[in-house]
Each structure stands twice: as structure tokens, then as C-alpha cells.
Amino acid sequence: MSSSVETLVNREYRYGFVTDIESDVAPKGLNEDVIRLISAKKKEPAFMLEWRLKAYRGWLKMSEPHWPNVVYPPIDYQNISYYAAPKTTKPLGSLDEVDPKLLETYEKLGIPLSEQKILAGVAVDAIFDSISVGTTYKKKLAEVGIIFCSFGEAVQEHPELVEKYLGSVVPPSDNFFAALNSAVFSDGSFVYVPKGVKCPVELSTYFRINTADTGQFERTLIIADEGASVSYLEGCTAPKRDTNQLHAAVVELIALDSAAIKYSTVQNWYAGDAEGRGGIFNFVTKRGKAFRKAKISWTQVETGSAITWKYPSVILQGDDSVGEFYSVAVVNGRQQADTGTKMIHMGKNTRSTIVSKGISAGRGNNSYRGLVKVLPKAEGARNYTQCDSMLIGPGCGANTFPYIDVQNPSASVEHEASTSKIGEDQIFYCKQRGLNTENAISMIVNGFCKEVFQELPMEFAVEAQKLLGVSLEGSVG
Amino acid sequence: MLEIKDLHASAGDKEILTGISLTIGKGEVHAIMGPNGSGKSTLAQVLAGHPAYEVTAGQVRFEGEDLLDMQPEQRAQAGLFLAFQYPVEIPGVTNAYFLRAAYNELRKARGLEEVDPIDFLDVLEEKLKTVEWGPDIMSRAVNAGFSGGEKKRNEILQLAVLEPKLAILDETDSGLDIDALRIVAAGVNKLRSPDRSFLVVTHYQRLLNYIVPDVVHVLVNGRIAKSGGKELALELEARGYDWVDEAAGVA
């Protein structure tokens, strides 16, 4: 792939700045006292502390998973601080009381939080290190009974909903990172959409890691009651640092009968430099449970992080429920991604669709790992999986690990996979028509990802296309 | 329009063009014929700037400018168009999007304003007639799943839209049935004009029954062994290429 496919990746990471703000950081290390401290800081009810401690005790008996197709030095879990919050934080009456430095940070990131400047039709919750700095549009949403707030607030204001649903999709015992998150998570977003309500705006959370040597462990819980529907967007960035930072989040979605949840992610955590120094370890557990006739749809565009380990999944518990997973994962430089989904068909006539587009450039390594499981009672279950990989340049890798486990003879499972190389010929063809190399690659890659991008809400789709251009810049010379 | 002097080019260690000299005037149609492996397609690719070939000697002037000094996209912007022998597929990118992107790049290079998608439809409507196509083709991905004939027609459509000064047709007739050949050739003939030159690369004389050239060159072993009028093509058809080798003493 010679000269023309090797320079498109190395532009400066635009979100790599650090906000100079005094923070309240817990001492490094993890033990029951730290967990008690976090729970006390959050003024949590007793059931939450008990839940955390139980998760922690479970975590102590677990070991870090090493089956993913990624390589990284051992993580010292005692050398991480598990809680960081900007010091000025007190309960906020309105966004006007938010520290101007924080508002400025989000302005710089292109996420205006002041109500009058808000993006039309998008309500935003902003998470800075461990805490939520402000949620917009709250009152308007409350008028139709929608709760959209930080997780911490939900624990205070709606403990009954939290107690009922927390851990109901991803129990603390699920895996090593989920257990760790359950023990130490500090904040996140909470959404409840009542029966029959269609959420009138896009809900969005913007995650930002700022403080060094901290981990970010947020927890998102979204409940769509019977017949409700909601579309939720998530964006992530972090400063450039030459040490790795751990991000271990848990997202749980509950779509009750005939409800619909659409969850979109544009993940652009700092990826580390060209030699693989620094960057975020993104070890995330995301799962939804779909009840009768419900639909859960995951769309993700993963361009950042040194290591990505995530499998947004759907448990198709109710009859006629639908699960979807649309993914674009880009690795460049020394990035590694092991990502995919699990579709667990339990109910009758459940349907799932998986469309995964992996793009590898530089010396990146990209693996798709997916499980389609049809349980004995899932009469008439159907799955369609399409898994395409694109390689840019000679130094990268792509792998596909599909697992198919069908226990009902009436099920229909289809799997299609392809691997292609952006060819010198494709680029030359575009150049011969007058396009420069960068525009040619951007066009070819965007064409490759089209089926996923068209699942994103409009403004996110535009951002995703731009992001893709930036993260591949320099991969072709 | 185009002036090639003693052009040498290699792919890896192998020299393929061994000294080509050729001048094409404004509005002229030149045909390049020759046996397989004589370097016909290499000449087309080298003129367009394909990175697989290295020019080791010689000069090429296009409208007085040094063509070899330009990037492939600059050559396109200067008005050089290559209709590919094997047009590539670009999945997920519609023909309309691709053509408009190319059209606008050329306009930008000439200091003109870009055309929006709605106005571009008007541009297309006229051009589609050149190759006897309806608008449906524009919403299909570029060449993806196209038949061999459709791909070649698509090249001619691009030629019609991009309106180059010099069009190089690289074996545009290969793989075409007689109906497709007729449509493609008719399209090219509609695009002939006193301001536009053509370099038609072909293995068979058949295409030249439809696109009648002003000059025919025979390429053997990477250089022009013989040039003549359109009747030379007929002679080649009747006698094969061997006699040219012998006559030129390059066998």
C-alpha cells in the first residue's frame, strides 16, 4: 500500500487539554473504606452501600479476563484513585451555579450546557470525572413525566426505581470489570420514561475524564416503561496523558413491553500516541433486556481508546422482541479493539440484526467478537449478522470471532463476513477524477460505514463522519 | 494539446515503455493499437499518474505544462480524463455523490463555485442521455454490482459530466457485447468536439469502425513502431501485428 496509504492517522487529538480545576480526589487504592467513603460522599441510602460492598467482595474473588485479543501491561488496581470530583461542587440549583471553568470545558468540547445555547432538541447530562456537572432540559422533560438526571440524584430522589432495576441486567457478579464498577461507581446518567411516553427530545450524556491517575466508573441506567420510547446519545473524550487510565463503565437498558430504546455512542477517548504510550483502557459492559415486543438498538462509533473491550448486548427475553447492533470500530496507531455483541434469544419470534464494520489502520488491531445464542424455547428466532473488515496499510490486523449457539431447530441464523483492503486502485480511481487522497479515503471509508451511520441521529452522523476523517488522518501518505 | 517525448517507464525492475514520442493536436482522435503486452495500457496509466509506474526518462507536456510534475488529481483538474479498463467499485458511495464530488473538485480547481445536489440533477439529466440511461443509475453505488458493460457506460457518463480536454479510453471496448459497444461508441462520438482530444487505446480494430480516428499508432515492445491514417487499423486487422514488428525491425 506504499506511500499513499500510510499518513492518514497522526493528527493531534483535539480534545487532549486538561482543565485546571481543584479536585477532591480519594487516596489511591481500593478497600472497603474507600467504598464507604464514596458511598458517604454520595450520601447514599444503606441499600446502596450494602450493594457496593457485596460487589467488592465478589470482585476480590474474580480475576481479570484475558481472553480478549488485546495485549497490555498488568493494571495495578491499588495505584488508581477511585473518586475525583471538582471541589466547588455542591448541590446545584441550576446550571448558572456551575463553575465557569467547567462550562468552558464543555464549550471547548463543543457541548454547550447553558440552557439558552442548547442544541436544538437535545437534552444533555455532563459527567466530569466522577460527578455530573449539570443536566439540561430537566424541567421540560419532567412535564411529560420523564426523569433524566445524574445517577447520584436518582439514588436520592427515586431510590425505589434504582433499587428495583440496578443490576437487573448486568449483575455485579457478571464479570470482573462490572463487579469493580458496581463497587466504586460514582455517577452516571439515569433515565426513566413512563408508560406510553415518547421522549420528545434526544437525551445525551457527555463523559469527560480530567484528573490524572483516576479511573472513571460511571453507571447508566435507562428504563423505558411499557410502550415508551427514547433515543439516547453518549459522547466521550479525555485529556492526553502518557499514562493509561481505566474506564470501566456499566450501562443497563430495560425496555418493558412494547417499549423502544435506541442507544448511540460516539467514543473518542484519548487513544495514546503513535508509539502506544498513554490512552484510555475502555473496559465497558453494556447490556439491555427487551421484554415482549420491545426493541433495543445499539449503535456505536468507536474511534478512541488505547484498548476497547465492549460488547453491547441484548437479552431478547420477551416474545417478538427485537435487538440490533450497528458498529463502526476504527483502530489506528497502536490501538486495539475487541468489540462486538451478544444477542441472546429467549422469547419466541425474537429477531436480531448485527452489522459490524471494523476499520484497521497504522499498526492497529481490530477484532469482532459476537455471540448469537438461541435458547430452546426461542421458537422462530431469527438473526442476521454482517461483519465487514477494512484494512488500510500493511501494518494492521483484523479478526473475526463469531460464536453461534442454536438450541432450537426452527431458528434461522445468517452470518456474512468480508475483508477488504482499501486498494491503491480505489484511491487512484478517485484521484483520477480530481479528488485528493484524503478526500478519496474519507469517501471510501464513509461508504463502507454507511449502513451504520444511517442508524445514527442526524447531528451525530455528521459528527461521526468528521471524527472518522480525523482519526484516519495520516494513515495515508 | 499533448506532447510526449521519448517516454520511458518501468514497473518494478521491468521497463515497459521504451521511448514513446507522440503529439496529439486539439480536437484530434488518436488510436493506439498493439499486441498484448506492448505497453498500451501502461501508457494510459502513466499519463494519468498511476503510482505503480515509474517514469525513468522523457517528457510529457499537456497544454504546455509539465504533466509528469503533477499529482494524479492535478492532472484530472487540468482536464485529463482516463476511462479505466477495469473501473473500480466503491461500495456505499452513490454514483450521484461520487460524480458531484468529482465535478465540484474540478470546478473548485478552476475557481468556480460548487454546485449543490439539486442543481447537479439538472447537469446530470442532460448527460445521462449521452449513454441512454435513466436517473435510476445515480442512486446505485459506484460500479458496485455493475455488469462489465454498465461499468464502461459509467466511465463514458463520467467523461460526459467532467468534460475533459483530453480523454484517454483504455480498452473501453473490451468485454462489451455489440449493443453496449454501439451505445458507448455513440456516446464518445457525441462528445467529440474541436476542443477535445481523444487517445483511444484498443486491441481490436472493431471499435475504430465506430470511433473513427485521425491517426493510428502501433505500439510494439513499448515504443511506436508505425503510425498512419485510419486505414492502418484495417491493415492490422487483416495482417496481424507481426509484419509491423518485422518492418520496424524491433521483433
The helix/strand/coil state of A433 is: coil
The answer to whether B170 touches B85, Cβ cutoff 8 Å, is: yes
Cβ–Cβ below 8 Å for A425 and B158: no
User: Would you state the torsion angle of the CA atoms of residues B42, B46, B52, B57, taken in this order, to the nearest 10 degrees?
Assistant: 100
Q: Which cell goes with B95?
A: 454514483
Q: What's at A287, amino acid-wise? A: R
Across the interface, do A444 and B90 touch by the CB < 8 Å criterion? yes
Q: Is the pLDDT of residue B249 over 70?
A: no
> Which helix or strand (DSSP H or E) is residue A296 part of?
strand A295-302
- Separation CA B33–CA B42 (nearest Å): 13
The set of cell numbers assigned to A23 is 479536585
Q: Using the beta-carbon criterion (under 8 Å), do A434 and B84 form an inter-chain contact? A: no
φ and ψ of B126, to 5 deg = -65, -45
Question: Which residues of A fall below an 8 Å CB-CB distance to B?
Answer: 2-4, 423-426, 428-437, 439, 443-444, 446-451
Question: pLDDT class for A213, splitting at 50, 70, 90?
Answer: low
The share of chain B scoring above pLDDT 70, in percent, equals 97
Does residue B181 contact residue B148 with C-beta atoms inside 8 Å?
Answer: no
Say what the pLDDT of residue A118 is: 44
User: What pairs with residue A47 in β-bridges?
Assistant: none
CB proximity list for A57: less than 8 A, separation 6 or greater: none
Q: Which of A30-34, A219-223, A258-262, B160-164 has the lowest mean pLDDT?
A: A30-34
Mind giving me the DSSP string for A54-100?
A: HHHHHHHT------SS---PPP-GGGSBS-EEETT----SSGGGS-H
State the pLDDT at residue A129: 57
What pLDDT, on the 0 to 100 scale, is given for residue A21? 61
pLDDT at position A116 is 40
* Residue A416 β-bridge partners: A386
The stretch B139-166 carries a mean pLDDT of 94
Can you tell me the distance from the alpha carbon of B136 to that of B125, in angstroms, rounded to the nearest whole number? 11
SS3 percent helix, strand, coil of chain A, rounded to 5, is 25, 35, 40
Note the Cα A67 to chain centre separation in Å. 20
First to last CA, chain B: 31
Going by C-alpha positions, the residue among A217, A281, A227, A225 that lies closest to residue A253 is: A225
Contact A356, A330 (CB under 8 A): no
Lowest mean pLDDT among A25-34, A41-50, A399-408: A25-34
A356: β partners: A327, A387
Question: Residue A385 half-sphere exposure, CB side, CA atoms within 13 Å?
Answer: 23
- Within a 10 A sphere around the Cβ of B125, how many other Cβ atoms? 10
Average pLDDT (A39-57) is 94
- Look up residue B134 and give its three cell numbers: 435513466
Per-residue cell: B136: 435510476
pLDDT: which is higher, A223 or A395: A223
Residue A474 confidence class, pLDDT cut points 50, 70, 90: low
Distance from the Cα of B3 to chain A's closest Cα (Å) equals 20
Q: At A62, is the pLDDT very low, low, confident or very high (cuts 50, 70, 90)? A: very high
C-alpha B122/C-alpha A10 separation (Å) is 40
Does the distance separating the beta carbons of B81 and A443 come in below 8 Å?
Answer: no
Tell whether B50 lies on the interface with A, counting CB pairs under 8 A. yes
Distances from the Cα of A157 to the Cαs of A64, A133, A458, B87, B188, in angstroms? 35, 17, 33, 63, 74
Separation between Cα atoms, residue B2 and residue B198, nearest integer Å: 10
Architecture of domain B2-248: 3-Layer(aba) Sandwich (3.40)
pLDDT value at residue B240: 81
Question: Distance of CA A444 to CAs A364, A397, B97, Å?
Answer: 19, 19, 12
pLDDT in tens, A153-201: 899 999 999 999 999 999 999 999 999 999 999 888 899 999 999 998 8
pLDDT of residue A101: 65
Helix (H, G, I), strand (E, B) or coil at B99: helix
Distance between CA atoms of residues A176 and B38, nearest Å = 65
pTM given for the model: 0.81
Question: A4, A5, A357, A430: best mutation site toward chain B, by most B Cβ within 10 Å?
Answer: A430
Q: Does any CB of chain A come closer than 8 Å to the CB of residue B76?
A: yes
> Which three three-digit cell numbers place residue A191?
433515565
Torsion from C-alpha of A427, A432, A438, A441, nearest 10 degrees: -30
Q: How confident is the model at residue B29 (pLDDT cuts 50, 70, 90)?
A: very high
d(CA B13, CA B222): 15
Mutation choice for A interface testing from B42, B67, B73 by most A CBs within 10 A: B73
- Please determine, for residue B26, whether its predicted confidence score (pLDDT) is greater than 50: yes
Q: Which residue has the cell 479476563?
A: A65
Q: Report the number of secondary-structure helices (H) and strands (E) in chain A.
A: 11, 25
Write the CB contacts of B59 (distance below 8 Å, at least 6 apart in sequence): B3, B4, B5, B6, B7, B66, B68
Percent of chain B, pLDDT > 90? 72
d(CA A182, CA A55): 6
Torsion A9-A12-A14-A20 (CA) sign = positive
Least confident of A318-322, A458-462, A473-477: A473-477
Does the pLDDT of residue A318 top 80, yes or no? yes
Q: With cut-offs at 50, 70 and 90, classify the pLDDT of residue A80.
A: confident
More confident residue, B246 or A71: A71
The beta strands (E) that lie in B104-247 are given as 141-142, 166-170, 197-201, 215-220, 223-228
> DSSP letter at A176?
H
Q: Where are the beta strands (DSSP E) in B25-175?
A: 29-33, 54-62, 65-66, 80-83, 90-94, 141-142, 166-170
Residue-wise burial string across A276-313, b where 16 or more C-beta atoms lie within 10 A, e elsewhere: bebbbbbbbbbbbbbbbbbbbbbbbbbbbbbbbbbbbb
pLDDT range class, residue A141, cuts 50, 70, 90: confident
Helices B117-130/B95-109 angle, 10° precision: 100
Q: What CA–CA distances, in Å, run from A119 to A206, A267, A369, B85?
A: 13, 19, 35, 49
Q: Is a pLDDT exceeding 90 seen at residue B174? A: no
Contact A296, A261 (CB under 8 A): yes
**SS3 state of residue B249:** coil
ipTM for the predicted complex comes to 0.94
pLDDT in tens, A326-380: 999 988 888 889 999 999 999 999 999 999 999 898 888 899 999 999 999 999 9
| B162–A447 C-beta distance less than 8 A | no
Contact B40, B33 (CB under 8 A): yes
Contact B145/A at CB under 8 A: no
User: For residues A344 and A312, is the Cβ–Cβ distance under 8 A?
Assistant: no
More confident residue, B195 or A84: B195
Residue B101 touches partner A, C-beta closer than 8 Å:
yes
- Cβ–Cβ of A425/B102 closer than 8 Å? no
**Bigger pLDDT: A476 vs B3:** B3
Of A135-139, B25-29, B100-104, B105-109, which range is least confident? A135-139
A444/B93 touch (CB, cutoff 8 Å), yes or no? yes
Closest CA to A131 of A80, A183, A188: A188
CA-based nearest residue in chain B for residue A428: B50
Give the residues across from A353 on adjacent strands.
A324, A384
Phi, psi torsion values for A57, nearest 5 degrees: -65, -35
A244 versus A295: the higher-pLDDT residue is: A295
The residue among A289 and A123 whose pLDDT is bigger is A289
The distance of B119 to chain A (nearest Cα, Å) reads 20
User: pLDDT tens digits for A374-387?
Assistant: 999 999 999 999 99
Q: pLDDT class for A316, splitting at 50, 70, 90?
A: very high
In tens, the pLDDT along A242-278 reads 667 788 999 999 999 999 999 998 888 777 777 777 8
User: With contacts defined as CB-CB under 8 Å, which chain B residues touch A444?
Assistant: 90, 93
Higher pLDDT, A273 or B156: B156
Mean residue pLDDT of chain A comes to 83
Task: Say what the pLDDT of residue B35 is.
Answer: 87
Share of chain A above pLDDT 70, in %: 78
Residue contact B92–A2, C-beta within 8 A: no
Q: Residue A434 is nearest to which of B51, B90, B109, comparing CB atoms?
A: B109
